[in-house]
Copies of this chain bind each other. A is one copy, B any other.
């Protein structure tokens, strides 16, 4: 792995003692995988700490019936708290990570991760990502436990700008639901004049109206 690339995306690495930085360069394995690759999965031991260089990882929880619930995305410069949690607690993964588009990542061996945690700078880096993700997970719990699908869909659309390019299936996946439900709800939104529908596209006409539905 090119140490410059990694430090560019993860500034925290530049703050480490040279000896450690050298070991990171030497011991992390870089790989590039095509979109859709499962980079880790439930009940699997965590092999190391992943840095995302390019592309991104969708972390999701698979259900028995084949549906799945997206938890969060790991972008370049971020870290995967599930991996951190597994490495810290020596437990298996409890979710699945899938490359979204061609993705390059660097895998740091577990032992090196343990040593890095001794470094305050690195520890803070992981720490703060933990705390950010916690809030996201709480939000997610609230959504799946309490919010109705129309509220969630309205919220999702609002987070995607004025013109949303996505198939109904894609939107359904993001909510852990099914296409038919999304089609029905979108039709309802369209009848209320909130959106205009066309193939693989949803145009937001009335953001305020959607907002009312989202936080009803």
Inter-chain contacts of A163 with B (CB < 8 A): none
B61 touches A142 (CB 8 A): yes
B69 touches A134 (CB 8 A): no
A139 touches B94 (CB 8 A): yes
Over the window 46-65 of chain A, the binary record of Cβ atoms lying under 8 Å from chain B Cβ atoms (1 yes, 0 no) is 00000000000000010110
Partner of A138, one of B82, B117, B123: B82
Query: Which of A84-92, A102-110, A154-162, A191-199 contacts the other chain?
Result: A84-92
Partner of A88, one of B81, B82, B131, B176: B131
Partner of A127, one of B123, B135, B137, B138: B123
Chain A contact patch, size range: 35 or more
- C-alpha gap A120/B119 in the complex (Å): 9
- C-alpha gap A89/B132 in the complex (Å): 7
- Asked if A140 is at the interface of the complex by the 8 Å CB criterion, the answer is yes
- C-alpha gap A69/B61 in the complex (Å): 19
Chain A contacts to B: CB under 8 angstroms: 61, 63-64, 67, 69, 71, 81-82, 84-85, 88-89, 91, 94-95, 117-118, 120, 123, 126-128, 130-132, 134-135, 137-142, 144-146, 176
By Cβ-Cβ distance, the 4 closest A-B pairs, closest first, are A88-B131, A85-B134, A85-B131, A63-B146
